[in-house]
């Protein structure tokens, strides 16, 4: 497999390992251009990723329920983070990005109503040489690292 060199890592740029919902066919929808954004939410006191996902950051994707195999990467090209919202404002936020998110009913019910939401537009999606990562004790569905190599399984 030929791996393209479509970006050069910059100082201050993070790399992200992002879980995509297999049941909701998120990776398939991204690849088929049926969706262009990923959503994350928080019920707590702050934005889901705390502003740590930025335009130009690289995302690596793994599907839920899989064998921890990372198969694709992309680039964040837009970030929209909400302020604290009511349940109604949260539902309206999700609806505002309905076309770009292309959520299943179950996914919609998961995210609409959260106090904080953020959407991340993904572009330059490509298949990569698959690798398995070390999950460790981390149960997060979005892992931020300086280099993806830090969490690759040897």
pLDDT at 20: 95
pLDDT digits (tens, 9 = 90+) for 42-83: 988 888 888 899 999 999 999 988 778 999 999 999 999 999
**Comparison of pLDDT for 88 and 11, the residue scoring more:** 88
**pTM as predicted:** 0.89
2-24 pLDDT, tens digit each: 444 444 455 668 999 999 999 99
Domains delineated in the chain: 15-149 (2.30.130.30)
DSSP the chain: -PPP------TT--EEEEEE-TTTTHHHHHHTTS--EEEEEESSSS-TTTT---TT-EEEEEETTS-SEEEEEEEEEEEEE--S--HHHHHHHHHHTHHHH---HHHHHHHTT-SEEEEEEEEEEEEEEEEEB--TT---SEEEES-GGGGB--
* Beta bridge partner(s), residue 78: 121
């Amino acid at each position: 497999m030929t791996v393209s060199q479509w970006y050069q890592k910059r100082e201050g740029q993070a790399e992200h390992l992002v879980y995509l919902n297999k049941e909701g066919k998120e990776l398939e929808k991204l690849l088929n251009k049926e969706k262009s954004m990923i959503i994350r939410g928080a019920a707590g006191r702050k934005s889901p990723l705390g502003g740590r996902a930025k335009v130009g950051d690289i995302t690596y994707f793994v599907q839920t329920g899989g064998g921890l195999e990372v198969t694709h990467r992309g680039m964040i090209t837009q970030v929209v983070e909400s302020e604290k919202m009511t349940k109604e404002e949260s539902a309206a936020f999700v609806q505002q990005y309905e076309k770009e998110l292309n959520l299943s009913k179950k996914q919609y019910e998961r995210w609409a109503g959260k106090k904080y939401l953020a959407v991340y537009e993904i572009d330059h999606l490509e298949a990569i040489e698959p690798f398995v990562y070390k999950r460790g004790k981390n149960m997060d569905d979005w892992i931020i690292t300086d280099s993806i190599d830090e969490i690759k399984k040897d």
